[in-house]
Amino acid sequence: MRNTTIPKLFFALLLLFFMGKITAQTPEFTQDDTLRGSITPQRAWWDLTFYDLKVKVNLDDKSITGSNTIHYKVLSPNNLLQIDLQPPLRMERVEQDGKLLELRQAGKNAYFVVIQKEQPVGSKQSLTVWYSGQPREAIHAPWDGGFSWSKDEKGQPFVATSCQGLGASVWWPCKDHMYDEPDSQAIAITVPKGLMDVSNGRLRRTVANDDGTTTYEWFVSSPINNYGVNINMANYVHFGEIYPGEKGPLTLDYYVLPQNLEKAKNQFKQASLMMKAFEHWFGPYPFYEDGFKLVEVPYLGMEHQSSVTYGNGYKNGYLGADLSRTGWGKKWDFIIVHESGHEWFANNITYRDIADMWVHEGFTNYSECLYTEYHFGKAAGAEYVRGCRALIENKRPIVGIYGVNSEGSTDMYYKGGNMLHTIRQIVNDDEKWRSILRGLNRDFYHQVVDGAEIEAYVSKHAGRNLQKVFDQYLRDTNIPVLQYRLKKGKVEYRWTNCVDGFDMPVQVTLNPGKYDMIYPTTEWKSSSCKLGKKGKFQVQEDFYVYSEMVGNAG
C-alpha cells in the first residue's frame, strides 16, 4: 500500500481522482496520466531485468545526485524507450555503450530516449541515466510522498523516502509502471559521515569515501516493485533475531534511533508474532533471501519490500487508537501488522494497474482480522473486521479506471476486507479458505497480476462462481439488501439494491442457535425451513449485507 490508513485514507481523497457512480461524470485525464498509467509503446517493447541505482544525498541543500543503469531484454523492434523522472529533478544525460543518446520530453514526467544501436529481439541491453536536483519534498508523508527531510529529537538528520501512488520517479529515474519489475536490484546510497542508510535487501558492504561520506551498498535478489525501493537515513542502531520460519531461519533486523532502542526491543517482539500468524495464513514469507527489516522513519510507515518502515510511536493500535473501536485493535501495533502484511499482498503479489489497488489493500486490511484471529480467537478477528465497517463510505467504486493511473475508492481497505470476510462465510470451510490464501501466494509467487486473475482464482478454488459478488463489492457502491417476508411459518426472500444477477449465498437463522445457508437471487424464493415459535429471521452478521422485512405475505 502506501498504507496506513485512516488519516491516510481520508487525506488521499483530496489528492486523487476517483471513479464516480455510474451517473457521475467521468473524470478527465491528461497526457501525463496516460503516460504514467498505461503500457505505452515506448514501454512495451523492452522487459526490465535489473536496476543498478546509485544516489548521493546532500543535506545542505536537500539535493540528490545519482545514476541508474537499466538492464533490459528486447521483446520487439523499436528505437524509443520511455524513462520517467519527475521535476524538479533533471535528467542530465543518457548513454548506451558510451554514446550519448537524444532525449525527447513527453509531458511533464516522461522522457523518450532515442536508441541508436540495433536492438535485436531477444538481446540483452543496458543504458545509464544520470540525474540530479532537489527532489519533491513530502508535505504529509506517506500520503503525499517524496523526500522527508527531518531531524530526530537530538537534532540529528532523519531522512526517508515514500512514493506509492505518486511514483518512484519522484526520486529516481525508472520505468514507473507496476507491470514490469526487475528480477533483482542493486541500491547504493551515499550519505554524510556519521549517518547510516538502510534500504532494501541485504547489505553487501559499506565504503568509506575520501570526502568523508559513506556508501551503503544493498542488494535485492527478488523482483521488487518500484515504489517499494527506499532510502532511510539516520544515526541508526541495529538489533535483530533469527525467526524459525516455514522455509528455515529468517533474519529479522531492526534499525531504530538510539534513544528509542529499549522501546523498540519491547515493541518489536510483535514482529515474530506477526510472522507466525501470516506464515500460517498466507504461507512462507516471500523474501527469505532478502530478509525482513523494520526501520524507524519520521513518518507513520509503509510497506517497502524487505525494508518495512515504522513510525507508530511504539504504541499499540494506530497511533494508539483502535480503528475498529472493538478493543481488539489495541492488542497489537497497527503498523507492524498492516505494513508487514503487504509483504504478501503488494510485494509478493503486485497489481499490474493501480486501478486494482484493492488486491494490495483489501487483502492486507483483512490480514489485520486474521492476525487478531490467530492470536486471540476466531470471534475476536470477526468482531474486529465488523467493527471496521463504520469506516466504509460507499461513495465510489473500489476499482478505478484502467490505463490512466487512477486509484479507486479508499473503501478498498475496509470494504475490501469485509468483502473477503464475507466470501469466507460463503466458502464456509476455514481450512479451504486458508488454502485459498496460501495458494494465492504460492501460485502468484513474485508475480504481477490483474485483479480479474485474483477474482477468478478465488472463484475456482472456492468451488463457486463469485463474479457477481466481486462485481457488487468492487464495482458498485450499494450494499445488497436481503428482503424477506413471512408466509405461513416459512420465509420468502430475495436480493435487492444489487447488481443484475446477484446470487450470493448467505447464512440466516430461523431458529435460535442454528444457521442455515440459503441461496437467494433477485427473484423471490421460499425456504423449506420453518420459523419456530421463538424464532427470528436474522442474517449471520459476518456477511456484509443488510436485511429488510417487507411485510407479511399472508
Beta bridge partners of 17: none
Flag whether pLDDT at 7 surpasses 70.
no
Question: Does some domain include residue 464?
Answer: no
Interaxial angle between packed helices 334-341 and 358-376, expressed in degrees from 0 to 180 and rounded to the nearest 10: 130
Residue 348 lies in a domain: no
Query: Nearest to residue 36, comparing CAs of 172, 167, 182, 144?
Result: 167
Residues 6+ apart with CB under 8 A from 243: 249, 250, 251, 252, 271, 272, 275, 292
pLDDT value, residue 23: 35
Residue with the bigger pLDDT between 7 and 103: it is 103
Q: What is the number of alpha carbons within 13 Å of residue 213 lying toward its C-beta?
A: 15
- Is residue 554 in some structural domain? no
**Domain, as residue range, for 255:** 5-341
Q: Can you read off the three cell numbers belonging to residue 346?
A: 503488494
The yes-or-no verdict on residue 10 having pLDDT over 80 is: no
User: Which range is least confidently modeled, 37-46, 335-344, 503-512, 523-532?
Assistant: 523-532
CATH number of 18's domain? 2.60.40.1730
Q: Specify the number of domains making up the chain.
A: 2
402 in a domain, yes or no?
no
Looking at residue 354, its pLDDT comes to 96
Which carries the bigger pLDDT value, residue 390 or residue 488?
390
Q: How far is CA 285 from the centre of its chain?
A: 16
Residue 535: what pLDDT?
64
Q: Is residue 437 part of a domain?
A: no
The residues, ordered by sequence, that sit 6+ positions from 332 with a Cβ below 8 Å of its Cβ are: 270, 273, 274, 316, 371, 372, 375
pLDDT at 5: 38
Mean pLDDT of 209-229: 97
d(CA 142, CA 165): 10
- The proportion of the chain whose per-residue pLDDT surpasses 70, expressed as a percent, equals 93
In-domain check, residue 280? yes
Q: State the average pLDDT over residues 247-262.
A: 98
pLDDT in tens, 11-43: 333 333 333 333 345 678 999 999 999 999 999
Other beta carbons within 10 Å of 273: 16
Residue 492 within any structural domain of the chain: yes
Please give the Cα distance from 334 to 339 (Å, whole number). 8
Q: Which pLDDT band, with edges at 50, 70 and 90, does 553 fall under?
A: low
User: What would the mean pLDDT of 128-145 be, rounded to a whole number?
Assistant: 95
Tell me the pLDDT band of 93, cut-offs 50, 70 and 90: very high
pLDDT at 529: 60
**CA dihedral of residues 113, 119, 121, 127 (deg, nearest 10):** -60
Question: Taking the model in full, what pTM does it have?
Answer: 0.93
- 110: pLDDT strictly greater than 80: yes
Which of 341, 374, 399 is the last residue in one of the domains? 341
Q: Distances from the Cα of 540 to the Cαs of 2, 425, 515, 518, 524, in angstroms?
A: 33, 9, 7, 11, 20
Single-letter amino acid code for the residue at 229 = V
pLDDT value at residue 514? 82
Residue (of 549, 412, 530, 462) closest to 16 by Cα position: 412
Q: Is the pLDDT of residue 533 over 80?
A: no
Cβ pair 3, 339 in contact under 8 A: yes
Average pLDDT, the chain: 93
pLDDT band for position 531 (cuts 50, 70, 90): low
Q: Please tell me the predicted confidence (pLDDT) of residue 487.
A: 77
- Please give the backbone phi and psi of residue 277, each rounded to the nearest 5 degrees, phi first: -65, -45
The model's pLDDT over 357-410, given as tens digits with 9 standing for 90+, comes to: 999 999 999 999 999 999 999 999 999 999 999 999 999 999 999 999 999 999
pLDDT, position 528: 65
Are 245 and 288 within 8 A, CB to CB? yes
Q: Out of 326, 341, 356, pick the residue that ends a domain.
A: 341
Q: Which of 322, 341, 360 is the last residue of a domain?
A: 341
At residue 335 the predicted structure's pLDDT band, cuts being 50, 70 and 90, is very high
- pLDDT level of residue 537 (50, 70, 90 thresholds): confident
Portion of the chain with pLDDT greater than 90, in percent? 89
Confidence of residue 530 (pLDDT cuts 50, 70, 90): low
Mean per-residue pLDDT for 268-282?
98
pLDDT in tens, 437-483: 999 999 999 999 999 999 999 999 999 999 999 999 999 999 999 99
Confidence of residue 534 (pLDDT cuts 50, 70, 90): low
Residue at 360 is within a domain: no
What pLDDT sits at residue 551?
79
3-state secondary structure string, 417-454?
Answer: HHHHHHHHHHHCCHHHHHHHHHHHHHHCCCEEECHHHH
What is the predicted pLDDT for the residue at 510?
79
